């Protein structure tokens, strides 16, 4: 059985936090271990340039994210792990897709529309401060996916539209140039946790409320101590509903542990104690990975070598041959293969045009038919007394019943027997095919 190709891109624009870990990294690594999947994980550093224009931050984030995935246990023997910008075939494909992507569809992309809406709200020009990179983002993402014919793309709800666009671009390309691309499917991770941040809102860099995944132990402790709670005193029962602290605990605990923690809330655990318990839970899971992370971060050259090796193998096995085929398909071809003196292909050769019978009544009042192929007359009938007689004769010919030495039609001018036979064979073949379909 062939494996399902699953692909995930991680934009290298920040430092991984607990929300990224519980919501994306941890489930992805679990999924990557399944025997029947072939996973592609890549650092989307071209995507990062849309948001981040500080070179040192792009570099730092790329290093941190690579080290994080390795430290969290991604098996790079079983899975593909690479950096987008190490595969020049991706931007190359982006251009081929750009040329089939509908601009109107891109106008409707959520990220772009949201930026336009913000501009309008502020009374700015629609496109003020919006780069063409943001506008073209879905095309680059489509190239990431289509180049490896990924079948499944696990994404959050906010990314579903991009997968639909990738399907649209892939479909248009296939329609124009032949079946080159598998149309990917979004896998929406419904029950994946979105963790609350320090202030109770969704943990996100844009709210500045994150807990870095590999914060050193004392920093982790300090950050957890700063999680927003209500002001209930120790011994007062606490609500688990809407408690960021509780939700964080849940993301790192078994069902039983979570139930016990809920009981402690009902029994009026003090916030200080609750935070200490949360810290211990998280640290128990993170500490072994943190150790690996720190070791990796101390050897950035090793990470660089791992990424380069992944990309080199992937290019050799997939990306380079794929682009070769795609270039050929769109007409970016080796000119030495053109036959010298060849004429451009005619619109359509007459011989490939489906032959048709035409019936008509002539000035002598009789009924005639002609077998036409394009402009050419292949057969010309003699006159029949009624349209019904002419029609029946046509029906018989179409069935292959021409009749030996038939004298009720003549070959057209300059038409050979073989040509007529070939044309009539087309009717017989169509007839058989029709019967096959109805059988
Ligand atoms: N756009 C994705 C995000 O912001 C990252 C990404 C880039 C991606 N290319 C991709 C995700 C291809 C899945 C497939 O989360």
Q: Hey, what are 377's tokens?
A: 């007359």
What is the pLDDT at residue 439? 38
Of 5, 11, 192, the residue with max ligand 1 atoms within 8 A of its CB, to mutate for a pocket test, comes to 11
Distance (Å, rounded) from C-alpha 217 to C-alpha 225?
12
| CA-nearest residue, atom 12 of ligand 1 | 9
| pLDDT score of 435 more than 90 | no
Do 26 and 144 lie in one domain? The reply is: yes
**Average pLDDT of the segment spanning 185-200:** 85
Do 59 and 49 lie in one domain? The reply is: yes
What is the average pLDDT value for the chain, to the nearest integer?
91
Q: Is residue 341 part of a domain?
A: no
Give the helix ranges, DSSP H, for 315-400: 320-330, 387-398
Report pLDDT digits (tens) over 385-406.
999 999 999 888 887 777 767 7
Q: Which residues contact 14 (CB under 8 A, 6 or more apart)?
A: 61, 205
Do 29 and 76 lie in one domain? The reply is: yes
| CA-nearest residue, atom 4 of ligand 1 | 11
What is the pLDDT at residue 425? 80
Do 272 and 303 lie in one domain? The reply is: no
Do 284 and 306 lie in one domain? The reply is: no
pLDDT band of 354, cuts 50, 70, 90: confident
| CA-nearest residue, atom 8 of ligand 1 | 9
Distance (Å, rounded) from C-alpha 238 to C-alpha 29?
35
Q: Is residue 46 part of a domain?
A: yes
For ligand 1, residues with CB inside 6 Å are 7-9, 11, 44, 47, 141, 144-145, 153, 155, 159
Distance (Å, rounded) from C-alpha 319 to C-alpha 315?
4
Compute the distance from residue 2 Cα to the ligand 1 centre, in Å.
Answer: 25
Of 5, 6, 7, 10, the residue with max ligand 1 atoms within 8 A of its CB, to mutate for a pocket test, comes to 10
What is the pLDDT at residue 423? 81
Distance (Å, rounded) from C-alpha 416 to C-alpha 134?
62
**Dihedral pair phi/psi, residue 343, rounded to 5°:** -90, 150
Do 113 and 63 lie in one domain? The reply is: yes
Structurally, the chain folds into a number of domains equal to: 3
Cβ proximity of 365 and 339 under 8 Å = no
pLDDT band of 374, cuts 50, 70, 90: confident
Of 5, 12, 47, the residue with max ligand 1 atoms within 8 A of its CB, to mutate for a pocket test, comes to 47
| pLDDT score of 258 more than 60 | yes
Report pLDDT digits (tens) over 262-315.
999 999 999 999 999 999 999 999 999 999 999 999 999 999 999 999 999 999
Q: Is residue 162 part of a domain?
A: yes
Residue bearing the bigger pLDDT, 408 or 191: 408
Indicate which atom in ligand 1 lies nearest the CA of residue 162: 1
Q: Domain limits at 24? A: 4-194+299-329
| pLDDT score of 132 more than 90 | yes
Indicate which atom in ligand 1 lies nearest the CA of residue 140: 9
Residue bearing the bigger pLDDT, 60 or 431: 60
Helix, strand and coil in the chain, % to nearest 5 = 55, 15, 35
Of 12, 16, 43, 44, the residue with max ligand 1 atoms within 8 A of its CB, to mutate for a pocket test, comes to 44
> What is the number of helices (H) and of strands (E) in the chain?
17, 9
Do 170 and 102 lie in one domain? The reply is: yes
Distance (Å, rounded) from C-alpha 240 to C-alpha 158?
28
Do 96 and 186 lie in one domain? The reply is: yes
CATH (domain of 276)? 1.10.240.10
Q: What is the pTM of this model?
A: 0.77
| CA-nearest residue, atom 10 of ligand 1 | 9
Compute the distance from residue 268 Cα to the ligand 1 centre, in Å.
Answer: 43
Compute the distance from residue 315 Cα to the ligand 1 centre, in Å.
Answer: 20
Q: Which of 5-14, 80-89, 155-164, 213-222 has the lowest mean pLDDT?
A: 155-164
The CA–CA distances, whole Å, from 57 to 15, 60, 61, 287 equal 10, 5, 6, 25
Residue whose entry in the numeric block shows the structure tokens 């810290």: 279
Indicate which atom in ligand 1 lies nearest the CA of residue 156: 15
Report pLDDT digits (tens) over 3-28.
999 999 999 999 999 999 998 999 99
| CA-nearest residue, atom 6 of ligand 1 | 9
What is the pLDDT at residue 434? 59
Indicate which atom in ligand 1 lies nearest the CA of residue 8: 13
**Average pLDDT of the segment spanning 425-438:** 65
| CA-nearest residue, atom 7 of ligand 1 | 9
Distance (Å, rounded) from C-alpha 357 to C-alpha 379?
9
Distance of CA 135 to the CA centre of its chain: 17
Indicate which atom in ligand 1 lies nearest the CA of residue 44: 7
What is the pLDDT at residue 191? 66
Q: Is residue 359 part of a domain?
A: yes
Report pLDDT digits (tens) over 75-107.
999 999 999 999 999 999 999 999 999 999 999
What is the pLDDT at residue 433? 64
Compute the distance from residue 73 Cα to the ligand 1 centre, in Å.
Answer: 21
Do 22 and 144 lie in one domain? The reply is: yes
Indicate which atom in ligand 1 lies nearest the CA of residue 150: 14
Task: Please name every residue paired with 357 in a beta bridge, in sequence order, or none if there are none.
Answer: 371
Q: Is residue 92 part of a domain?
A: yes
Residue whose entry in the numeric block shows the structure tokens 């027997």: 417
Do 94 and 153 lie in one domain? The reply is: yes
Of 7, 16, 162, 170, the residue with max ligand 1 atoms within 8 A of its CB, to mutate for a pocket test, comes to 162
Indicate which atom in ligand 1 lies nearest the CA of residue 11: 5
What is the pLDDT at residue 216? 96
What is the pLDDT at residue 432? 63
What is the pLDDT at residue 426? 78
**Average pLDDT of the segment spanning 151-170:** 94
Do 17 and 144 lie in one domain? The reply is: yes
Q: What percent of the chain has pLDDT over 70?
A: 94
What is the pLDDT at residue 328? 96
Q: Which of 276, 297, 318 is the last residue of a domain?
A: 297
Side-chain-side CA neighbours of residue 430 (13 Å): 12
Report pLDDT digits (tens) over 23-73.
899 999 999 999 999 999 999 999 999 999 999 999 999 999 999 999 999
CATH (domain of 307)? 3.40.50.620
């Amino acid at each position: 059985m062939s494996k399902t190709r699953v692909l995930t891109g991680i934009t290298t624009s920040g430092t991984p936090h607990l929300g990224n870990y519980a919501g994306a990294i941890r489930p992805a690594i679990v999924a990557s271990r399944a025997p029947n999947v072939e996973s592609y994980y890549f650092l989307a550093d071209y995507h990062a340039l849309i948001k981040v224009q500080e070179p040192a931050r792009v570099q730092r984030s790329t290093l941190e994210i690579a080290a994080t995935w390795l430290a969290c246990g991604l098996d790079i023997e079983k899975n593909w792990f690479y950096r987008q910008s190490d595969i020049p075939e991706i931007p190359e494909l982006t251009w081929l897709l750009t040329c089939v992507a509908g601009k109107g569809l891109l106008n409707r992309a959520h990220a772009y529309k949201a930026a336009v809406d913000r501009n309008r709200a502020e009374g700015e020009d629609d496109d003020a401060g919006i780069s063409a990179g943001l506008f073209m983002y879905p095309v680059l993402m489509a190239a990431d996916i289509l180049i490896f014919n990924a079948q499944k793309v696990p994404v959050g709800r906010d990314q579903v539209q991009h997968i639909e666009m990738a399907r649209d671009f892939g479909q248009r390309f296939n329609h124009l140039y032949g079946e080159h691309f598998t149309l990917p499917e979004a896998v929406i991770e419904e029950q994946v946790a979105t963790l609350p941040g320090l202030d109770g809102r969704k943990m996100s860099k844009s709210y500045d409320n994150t807990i870095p995944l590999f914060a050193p132990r004392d920093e982790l402790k300090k950050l957890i101590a700063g999680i927003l709670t209500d002001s209930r005193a120790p011994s007062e029962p606490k609500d688990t509903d809407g408690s960021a602290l509780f939700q964080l605990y849940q993301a790192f605990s078994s069902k039983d542990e979570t139930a016990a923690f809920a009981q402690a809330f009902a029994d009026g655990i003090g916030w200080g104690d609750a935070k200490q318990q949360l810290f211990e839970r998280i640290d128990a899971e993170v500490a072994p990975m943190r150790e690996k992370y720190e070791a990796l971060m101390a050897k950035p050259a090793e990470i660089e070598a791992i990424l380069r090796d992944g990309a080199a193998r992937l290019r050799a096995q997939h990306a380079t041959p794929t682009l070769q085929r795609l270039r050929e398909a769109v007409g970016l071809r080796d000119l030495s293969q053109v036959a010298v003196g060849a004429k451009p292909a005619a619109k359509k050769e007459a011989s490939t045009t489906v032959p048709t019978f035409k019936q008509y009544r002539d000035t002598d009042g009789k009924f005639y038919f002609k077998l036409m192929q394009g402009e050419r007359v292949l057969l010309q009938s003699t006159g029949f007394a009624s349209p019904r007689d002419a029609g029946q004769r046509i029906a018989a010919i179409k069935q292959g019943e021409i009749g030996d030495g038939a004298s009720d039609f003549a070959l057209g001018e300059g038409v050979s027997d073989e040509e007529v036979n070939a044309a009539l064979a087309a009717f017989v073949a169509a007839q058989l095919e029709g019967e096959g379909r109805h059988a």
